[in-house]
Structure 1
């Protein structure tokens, strides 16, 4: 079976894919009929899901799709083709994973705009506009509106990506 999110999972969760590859090799060493290599994607998603402490892969699939969509928006907005293995993209994806957990657990950063958030928005107005678009995607796909500080920290990561840091 081929997994439709293979490319996204491979780029978004390289550590989990590598762990899944090793697990699959160990399992296949014990089986007469080895599992196909494509099963590493399913295993990787289970590892991602386990890291999110959720028993249902639906959230992981949705999160992966949202991340892919958000990266595509940033690429289009800044006319970039992002290298998914860079530090800034990795930080962005890690930030999003924790953001999605906070959203799912209804534990977002404070709803009042903090001075740090205001400083980020003032320093990076273009990235803030992009972050607000990304927040709209999250609201549509996950059903929760982001707080001002969540949008600000999202803007900081967008600015890092746009600046290539």
Structure 2
């Protein structure tokens, strides 16, 4: 019924945990038996509340895009990422803030591209991967992504894909 359960478990484990606790508390206090799957929409509401959005569709779309981004990175590097790792969690946190900036029309952009040029030079493989991620983001978010945001994505991808950070 809720296809995003696996993504929520990986991307928002704390919110899913609290969703499960809420379902257990309701079941314990009321004369009803909510199914365990009810924790999933509750967790999505908790994620949504963290962004002060009020729009659950935004959270649903964001979660699906995060999963697609991780798939692009895994495909580009030919190895799975440890989606339960702190490093993937940090990357998701960066993406959350990125989504908020895009949603607020406040992307990082110095208009000179100096930052993006430096990252492209220092991490060409990660930058190439970030360009592919940018294509997905532009398609899904229906707006252009700045070169500086692409540079930040590349920097985070480079950090995330260091050999000791991918699953062996």
User: In which range does the TM-score fall when normalised by the shorter chain?
Assistant: over 0.9
The normalised TM-score by structure 2 is 0.92
Segments of 4+ moved more than 4 angstroms:
none
| Gap runs ≥5 in structure 1 | none
Question: What SS does structure 1 have at the residue aligned with 2:8?
Answer: helix
Q: CA 1:113/1:7 → structure 2, altered by over 3 Å: closer, same or farther?
A: farther
Match of 2:52 in 1: 53
Across the two proteins, how many residue pairs are aligned to each other?
Answer: 164
Q: CA deviation at 1:117?
A: 3.5
Listed as ranges, the matches of 1:53-132 within 5 Å are 53-113=52-112, 115-132=114-131
Q: CA 1:58/1:85 → structure 2, altered by over 3 Å: closer, same or farther?
A: same
Q: CA deviation at 1:157?
A: 1.1
Q: CA deviation at 1:25?
A: 1.5
The normalised TM-score by structure 1 is 0.94
Distance in 1 (alpha carbons) for counterparts of 2:15 and 2:146: 30
Please give the root-mean-square deviation of Cα atoms over the aligned residues, in Å.
1.3
Distance in 2 (alpha carbons) for counterparts of 1:98 and 1:121: 22
Summarize deviations over 1:24-53 as a string: whole Å, max 9, x none: 221211121221111111111000000111
